[in-house]
Amino acid sequence: MTEALSVVPASPQAARFSGYAGSAAPVVQSLSDIKPGAEARVSIGVDELDRVLGGGLVAGSVILIGGDPGIGKSTLLLQALAAVSCSLKSLYVTGEESPEQVSLRAQRLGVNADRVRLLPETSVERIIEHARHEAPQVMVIDSVQTLYTELLQSAPGSVGQVRESAAQLVRFAKHTGVALFLVGHVTKEGTLAGPRVLEHMVDTVLYFEGDPGGRYRVIRAIKNRFGAVNELGVFAMTDKGLKEVRNPSSIFLSRHEQPVAGSVILVTMEGTRPMLVEVQALVDDSQLSNPRRVTLGLEHNRLAMMLAVQHRHGGILMSDQDVFVNVVGGVRVTETAADLAVLLAALSSFRDRALPNDLVVFGEVGLAGEIRPVPNGQQRLKEAAKLGFKQALVPTANVPKAGIDGLEIHGVARYAEVLDWFA
């Protein structure tokens, strides 16, 4: 049953967004004979979401949005659907919440729900039947874990059901050109029937990051057939839903009044924007025969590598120490530019000596003990200077010849030079 909030007449944009050419009778032809039209992209009207999608929504594309329960997936998609519904016909399929709950949320968000059509349904066959009739241009399925198909006997939420249900919807989207958002919960323990089994089927995979208890939410594209990956969209959760954060470079930064041992400010470049984050390490005597190596927001193997470099090229042994490293604020840093920050944070905690609190750091560290340059050095340094930092420790090859106003830049090429600098 569709809950009629209102019926939308097809907009003029509808034709342009009907997109995908359909798969009537495929023929074999030369690649060079195929003349793709410009991808019909439509701005959703939520800039940070457009950004992670690679500049807007593409007709016939399937986007998987994963994240912990309660992180804000439903909130974001309801906001996005309301925003896009003034130009595109939209349908929100809710399998988890009742229409009343969705309506209450829409009221709370203060969004214009006039043109958002709602369908409470979990049977894929019936969803597709309704969708054929409604002919939406954008459709949200919240969530894939609630879906079931009559083709299979197993319970909703099982891997088979999730995979088969999603496959049917993907075929439907490719055939009709509807842009499809699939919501998937990621569970802490393993993600068994979680969205991971769907990643290869869809065009774009977005994951929510951030601490569900905290204020900020980051959306990262980890796969995108229509744009760059690792682009971030940043939002703040407020009492009126998710608000875009347009200049997120310093939101994860907590400035300490006094310098603190084990804390280093890293300039990371996720996607196209530099962001400053605090990397914290705690190095402490271990009571275990196998001391702990724990990372949060960073790659675990990378820490083991850095500690090996530290021993081999710096002569500093931490084999009887527990080492914990954390990126403050629940963000994930995936790039190797974090290496130098991790090393320095561990060293600073080990020696119980603070680094200056107006210092920023970035750089990749190689196994030979060399400090390797990272992309976009100048942009990172400029952002740090803009935020009032006074010193930077970076790979020599990233030191700009002309310098940066207000920033004293130390270049290092070998790990031994880092130790000299910190001596």
Question: What is the binding site for ligand TYD (CB under 6 A)?
Answer: 67, 69-75, 105, 108-109, 237, 239-241
Please give the Cα distance from 99 to 144 (Å, whole number). 17
User: In the complex with ligand TYD, which residue's Cβ is closer, 241 or 363?
Assistant: 241
Residue type for position 26: P
Please give the Cα distance from 166 to 202 (Å, whole number). 9
Q: Beta-carbon neighbour count of residue 174 at 10 Å?
A: 18
Q: Which does residue 356 bind out of ligand TYD, Mg ion, none, counting CB within 5 to 8 angstroms by kind? A: none
- Minimum CB–partner distance for residue 95 and Mg ion (Å): 10
Residues shown for the chain: 423
User: In the complex with ligand TYD, which residue's Cβ is closer, 17 or 208?
Assistant: 208
* Total residues at interface with Mg ion (CB under 5 A): 1
Reply yes or no: is the peptide bond before residue 143 cis, omega within 30 of 0.
yes
Q: Which does residue 325 bind out of ligand TYD, Mg ion, none, counting CB within 5 to 8 angstroms by kind? A: none
Q: Which residues, 43 to 82, sit near Mg ion by CB under 5 A?
A: 74
- Minimum CB–partner distance for residue 232 and ligand TYD (Å): 18
Is 321 a binding residue for Mg ion by CB under 5 A? The answer is no
- Minimum CB–partner distance for residue 75 and ligand TYD (Å): 3
User: In the complex with ligand TYD, which residue's Cβ is closer, 108 or 255?
Assistant: 108
Q: Which does residue 237 bind out of Mg ion, ligand TYD, none, counting CB within 5 to 8 angstroms by kind? A: ligand TYD
Please give the Cα distance from 136 to 119 (Å, whole number). 12
CB-CB contact of 205 with 199 (8 Å): yes
Number of H helices, E strands in the chain: 10, 20
User: In the complex with Mg ion, which residue's Cβ is closer, 74 or 176?
Assistant: 74
The strands making up 232-238's β-sheet, listed across from edge to edge, are 116-120, 90-94, 138-142, 179-185, 62-67, 204-209, 216-224, 232-238, 241-244
The structure tokens listed for 42 are 């439509």
User: In the complex with ligand TYD, which residue's Cβ is closer, 33 or 239?
Assistant: 239
- Enumerate binding residues for Mg ion (CB under 5 A): 74
